[in-house]
Homo-oligomer: A and B are copies of this chain.
């Protein structure tokens, strides 16, 4: 049984609390939050204790921590947790600063404490099935990857200003998905972006619609499309063309009802947003973390994966600004092909 401390009792922390509690091999021991009432309320609902982060990190009876705090605390908490020998599952991104994230990676590089970054989409049943089919060679050699990833509605401009920008905040999931599905990392990144959804987002220095094209050592190509607004719901699709076929992962719909009338044939919309769409993925992510933490197997998503996605976001941000192709600066020795 894995004894778990949860750092952060916000929306995503609450999702994790359900999964920690519902998993037969883990138990939620303690919850912390900068807002004490939030920690207390969440802890009470699941028979856990509200404590400070420091107290949780210092408690030798706690085996693992789940970091669901604000992004600017992630690196510090990862380092502290690793020092105290606790298995770590940390929400993405590692940090908004690639430098800080690399420093964190350096610091924990030689420890044996397992760290996993919460790229939950890898655990979505459809995306993981697609990857498995690709790995079994069902479409031969992969050649061209396309990722469509649209949010239902743009966040407030106030959020945009502190988000690190679309590439670090939103597309980072898609960069990791590309790494996951291609099994390696791109060498060059080309980005175009526009603030066509909301000009205020442009005035805040960000884009809300973007296309990124990436090339790989072996001649493959990937393209990612992002928009902050798809009024019909969360649009999360992947297509992988290979020498012997095409794999597509399509949207999950709210239900399977189809209505045919004189004005057309109407199906349900995609599930509204990540909480609905990725609920099974969050549960499977936690299951995978528990597996690795209890068995000592390598974490399925590493801290390096987190830093790699951030490096790609950095390159895309730069490319969108300059209009030029940008080579991604991984520190190659640390990022062996996945």
Binding site for B on A (CB under 8 A): 22, 24, 45, 125-126, 129-130, 133, 138-139, 143-144, 146, 148, 150, 190, 192, 194-197, 209-211, 213, 215, 218-221, 223, 225, 227, 229-233, 235, 239, 241, 243-262, 264-270, 323-325
Contact = CB atoms under 8 A, between A and B. Distances in A.
A251 B218 CA distance: 30
A145 to B, nearest CB: 10
Contact of A223 (B22, B225, B248, B267): B225
A248 B244 contact: no
Given A213-B213, A227-B143, A262 B245 contact: yes
Contact of A265 (B150, B261, B268): B268
Contact of A45 (B24, B213, B248, B262): B24
22 contacts: A125-B254, A126-B257, A129-B257, A129-B268, A130-B257, A146-B148, A190-B190, A194-B219, A196-B219, A230-B241, A232-B260, A233-B260, A246-B261, A247-B257, A247-B258, A248-B258, A249-B258, A251-B256, A252-B256, A253-B265, A260-B270, A265-B268
Given A223-B223, A230-B246, A267 B269 contact: no
Contacts of A258: 247-250
